[in-house]
Amino acid sequence: MVHASPRPLRAHAAGSLLGGTAAVPGDKSISHRALILGALCVGETRIEGLLEAEDVLNTAAAMRAFGARVERHADGSWSVFGVGVGGLGEPEDVLDFGNSGTGSRLVMGMMATTPIRAVFTGDDSLRRRPMGRVLEPLRLFGAEAQAGEGGRMPITLVGAREALPIRHHVTLASAQVKSALLLAALNAPGRTTISQSALTRDHTERMLRAFGAQIHVEPLETGEAISVLGEAELTACPIAVPRDPSSAAFPAVAALLVPGSEIRVPDVLLNPRRTGLFAALRAMGASLEVVNRRDSGGEEIGDLVVRHSPLSGIEVPADWAPSMIDEYPILAVAAAFAEGRTVLRGLEELRVKESDRLAAVAAGLKAIGVRVEELADGLIIEGMGRDVPGGGIIATQMDHRIAMSFLVAGLASRDPVAVDDTTMIATSFPEFCPLMRRLGANFAEPG
């Protein structure tokens, strides 16, 4: 596997305010699912606004390997001509998912109840991430898997010859595991029921309904149970991908931190299970307004207007974690520039992301002069208001969100902040640097 040379970058305090429109890319979670469910339909699924980042393009390549026809049109839209549930072909080569835990886990679920064989791998970061959490329940359907130590890639997965429906409780607050099992259920006879104690992202459930699956969601005292009728026949439908709130988080926090700034982020996904960061920032005192709310393909979207605001430290409830799990690195940066203490808990899942994000965030904050205590499940951050020293070089650990978060920190700290690599940002937000520069960010290669 060929790796690009590291591309370090340094962020300097903005010479002026940040302003303008931040047209962030399409939502990554929805983009993955649109390609996968499109491949499981018969007929053409037309997708507008697909995120054209490495993670999603690797999922598109995997769909081609399973026999679907996936095309990009000159106007930027995409078409997926599917093979139907149970119609997947066996890939001729290894499936390389790069840095994408979402794409790899969802595709494992997609194929686990079809009697074919596939080999899954990824980059160094992905090969360190635990996959047993999805492989073990997929074995209940009848799938077989051979994996490296600790259930890690490379993984050879053989789909069930005679798939069985299952009843399974997912103990982790993981939308990836839940979604993988729901996708596996599509080709298992009878009704499969998956329950969780936490309310995780529900994009898979919403999109399954749009494609015609028979799906029922039952609220529980804590969490919910989702049942899907197998041997499904999915009907192709158009998908308009809203803009990614996880990507919107970076320019939004930058605007909050740089005095005088005001930006607008149009067409952002406002699914309540994805907007925990916005709620947390408002609780800290952020001027963050949503205008022009509307519906798009079963998901609420709107335009986000963000203005510079002084922030105050808060205690973020642990049960908010599923609604903002990817946004904690940038929330930690916001907390560093707040007045007072911020406490973040319920973050065990961050230990097994693209990096150990808890450790990486704590190390990064210390490197820019912020006092932070790393807990087993969270962080305690002593905010410094407008007096964050900055300086230092941040070890990104091949994690795109660490890189982008600390570049944002450098726009408001006294001294510049450098990150050791930015190549991995392309996995989720290829336009991050040019977009931020258009808003007024001062990024430069280290001399």
Measured in Å, how far apart are the chain's first and last C-alpha atoms?
30
Q: Are 53 and 427 in contact (CB under 8 A)?
A: yes
Q: How far apart are CA 204 and CA 394, in angstroms?
A: 35
Q: How far, in Å, CA of 218 to CA of 224, rounded?
A: 6
**Cβ(145)–Cβ(217) below 8 Å:** no
- Pairing label, strands 239-240, 41-48: parallel
Q: How many other CB atoms are found less than 10 A from the CB of residue 202?
A: 20
**Length, in residues, of the chain:** 447
Place of tokens 């969780």: 196
The answer to whether residue 55 is catalytic is: no
Q: Is 289 helix (H, G, I), strand (E, B) or coil?
A: strand
Q: Write out the two tokens for 2.
A: 């060929």
Q: Residues with Cβ < 8 Å from 359, sequence gap 6 or more?
A: 351, 374
- DSSP reduced 3-state for 298: coil
Cβ neighbour number for residue 319 with a 10 Å cutoff: 14
28: part of which helix (H) or strand (E)?
helix 28-39
Residue 152 neighbours by CB distance under 10 Å: 16
Q: 176 has which bridge partners?
A: none
Which secondary structure element, helix H or strand E, spans residue 80, and what is its range? Answer: strand 78-83
User: Cα-flanking dihedrals φ and ψ of residue 118, to 5°?
Assistant: -145, 150
Could you give the 3-state DSSP secondary structure of residue 343? strand
| Catalytic choice (326, 387, 415, 421) | 326
- The residues annotated as belonging to the active site are 326
